[in-house]
Amino acid sequence: MKALITISAILLVIVPAMGQMISNPLPPVPAATAVGGAYTAVAKGPAACFWNPAGLAFTSGTQGSFVYHQPWGIPFLTHVAGAIATELPRNAGSGAISYQTLGTRSGGTSLSTEGELALSHGLLLQQDIHTSLAIGYSLKLITWSLASSITGESGEVDLGSAATFGLDIGASAQVWDRLRLGGVMHNINHPQLGASEYGVFGVGGMKRDLPQMFSGGLLFFPYHGVETSFDIERVLSGETQLKGGLNANIVSPLDLRFGVFTNPNGFSAGFGLHWRELIVDYAFVYHPILSPTHQVGIGFQIEESLSDVWRGK
Three-class SS state of 235: strand
The H-assigned helical ranges of 54-199 are none
| pLDDT of 36 | 95
CB burial class (10 A; 0-12, 13-18, 19+) of residue 75? exposed
Alpha-carbon torsion 125, 135, 221, 30, what sign?
Answer: negative
Phi-psi region of 309 (alpha: psi -120 to 50; beta: other; left: phi over 0): alpha
Residue type for position 87? E
Percent pLDDT > 90 in the chain is 56
Distance between CA atoms of 222 and 45, rounded to whole angstroms? 23
In this prediction the pTM is 0.83
Query: How many helices, marked H, and strands, marked E, lie in the chain?
Result: 3, 18
CB under 8 A, 24+ apart: contacts of 226-230: 227/42, 229/35, 229/38, 229/39, 229/41, 229/42, 230/38
Distance between CA atoms of 298 and 65, rounded to whole angstroms? 6
- Are the beta carbons of 240 and 233 closer than 8 angstroms? yes
| DSSP-assigned letter for residue 210 | P
What is the average pLDDT score of the chain? 84
Distance between CA atoms of 46 and 53, rounded to whole angstroms? 9
Report the chain's terminal Cα–Cα distance, integer Å.
12
Strand partners, 68: 80, 296
pLDDT tens digits, residue range 82-96? 999 999 988 889 999
Would the pLDDT of 109 be above 90?
no
Distance between CA atoms of 241 and 50, rounded to whole angstroms? 17
Distance between CA atoms of 179 and 151, rounded to whole angstroms? 57
Contacts of 189 (CB under 8 A, 6+ apart): 165, 166, 167
pLDDT tens digits, residue range 172-210? 999 988 999 999 999 999 998 875 444 444 444 567 788
| pLDDT of 24 | 66
Relative to beta strand 226-235, strand 213-223 is antiparallel
Backbone angles phi, psi at 71, to 5 degrees: -55, 120
- Are the beta carbons of 122 and 182 closer than 8 angstroms? no
Strand partners, 244: 230, 260
Q: Which of 126-130, 134-138, 194-198, 220-224 has the highest mean pLDDT?
A: 134-138
pLDDT tens digits, residue range 29-44? 999 999 999 999 999 9
Would the pLDDT of 256 be above 70?
yes
- Are the beta carbons of 139 and 164 closer than 8 angstroms? no
Q: What is the CATH number of domain 2-311?
A: 2.40.160.40
When pLDDT is cut at 50, 70 and 90, the band that residue 19 belongs to is very low
